[in-house]
Amino acid sequence: MIYLDYSATTPVNLEVLTSFEKVAKDYIGNPNSLHKLGSDSYELMNRAIEQMASLLNVKSNELIFTSGATEANNLAIKGICYKYQNRGKHIITTKLEHSSVSEVMHYLSNRGFEISYVNLLDNGLVDIEHLKSLIRDDTILVSICHVNSEVGIVQPINEIGKALKKYSKLFFHVDGTQAVGKIPVDLTNIDLYSFSSHKIYGLKGVGCLFKQASIDLEPLLHGGKSQSIYRAGTPSLALIVSFSKALRLSLENLDEKYEHIKKLNDLIRNELSKYEHIKINSNEHCLPHILNISYVGINSETFMHALEQHGIYVSSQTACSKLDGPSKTIMALYNDKKRAISSIRISLSHLTTEEEINLFLKCFDVEYEALSAVLGE
């Protein structure tokens, strides 16, 4: 098997799994129980959260644990909109968002909120001048993904955050799910930032929302005392501890891992650009972890399943958007439907080897030739 779908989810790091297992076995108390078992769990939870906060250079009361980035994005966007709707009902976002942001925008637009989409420059980066021109008196939120999940475009969130600082009535939310553990993240100019454990070799079922301490939110879940007043429910201690470990490990040797992945990306890019019907959708502003291509004329799923016969796993668009038709990201970037219905995402890890890529390229060639007969028909 050659797994090239690391942006959909990553295999769990065994050290992380061991820490999950150990905590789940040894710490049976509810962190909110007042007896010793409870306080032992509470202390461990706080230590894990403090470690995570120090890795991100934020305060521990600024981290809210959720079930994943989908919930973190929902909490950030709906939480701000419900809390601050008396200030205004205008939101600005991009056409490059993951469905856990774009679907929330759709939901809110049916409930009296107005959504504006910022223009993208030809290179796919947000047009900051246009963004500033969209800001109105009733704008309460700007939400922009740090790294797009389909093609990997990295937005200059720091520059955007700085530009937004002077608009004191609005908040800046960033979906950082595809960025954390891949590139350094600086949260100084960001109000809210979402990310997820299963994208960084942690377990599925836990995510996090960073929220600057001074900002208030309307919770989505109401109930008893929890890890945060913004999210009720018994804290999942073992998931939180293992998430903290996953984050620490993912940030180790970041540069080295990046360089390894960049080398593999260059290798694939060089080889695939020789094929007549292949268009490379990821440009120089994209993370090397994601390489998106289109075999123009061949439907994404057809090519994906052709590779699957060789035990090679890639994505058609993203795992979360499989029923959505042409890729919205590719449409936003290239406005080309043929390209948008044939896009494939190859996503790489520091665990990916050159041998795997060479084998992938051989199988790619076989399937490219086989399917080119279909193009000729």
In 231-339, at which residue ranges do the beta strands (DSSP E only) sit?
278-280, 290-295, 312-313, 315-316
Which residue in 208, 286, 320, 363 is the catalytic one?
A: 320
The residues near 176 (Cβ < 8 Å, ≥ 6 apart) are: 145, 146, 147, 185, 193, 194, 195
Residue 353: CB partners within 8 Å, gap ≥ 6?
Answer: none
53-67 CB burial, b ≥16 within 10 A, e <16 = beebebeeebbbbbb
Nearer to ligand PMP (CB atom), residue 228 or residue 318: 318
Closest-CB residue for ligand PMP? 68
Which spans of this chain sit near ligand PMP (rule: CB under 6 A)? Answer: 68-70, 73, 98, 100, 145, 149, 175, 177-178, 196, 198, 207, 318-320
Q: How far is the CB of 173 from ligand PMP (least distance, A)?
A: 12
The least CB distance from residue 143 to ligand PMP, in Å, is: 11
CB of 204 to ligand PMP, least distance (A): 7
Residues 370 and 42: their CA atoms lie apart, in Å, by 59
Q: Which residues, including other chains, have CB under 8 Å from residue 281's CB and lie 6 or more apart?
A: 151, 292, 293, 294, 330, 333, 334, 339, 343
Count other C-beta atoms under 10 Å from residue 39's C-beta.
14
Using DSSP bridges, classify how beta strands 171-175 and 139-145 pair: parallel, antiparallel or unpaired.
parallel
**Measured from the CB atom, is 27 or 193 closer to ligand PMP?**
193
Q: How far is CA 144 from the centre of its chain?
A: 11
Taking the least distance from each CB to ligand PMP, the nearer of 41 and 196 is: 196
Instruction: Read off the amino acid at residue 236.
Output: S
Nearer to ligand PMP, 177 or 282 (CB): 177
In degrees and rounded to multiples of 5, residue 211 shows phi and psi of -140, 125
Q: Look up 320 and say whether it is catalytic.
A: yes
Distance between CA atoms of 66 and 274, rounded to whole angstroms?
A: 44
Question: What's the closest the beta carbon of residue 146 comes to ligand PMP, in angstroms?
Answer: 8
Question: How far apart are CB 179 and ligand PMP at their closest, in Å?
Answer: 8
What residues act catalytically? 320
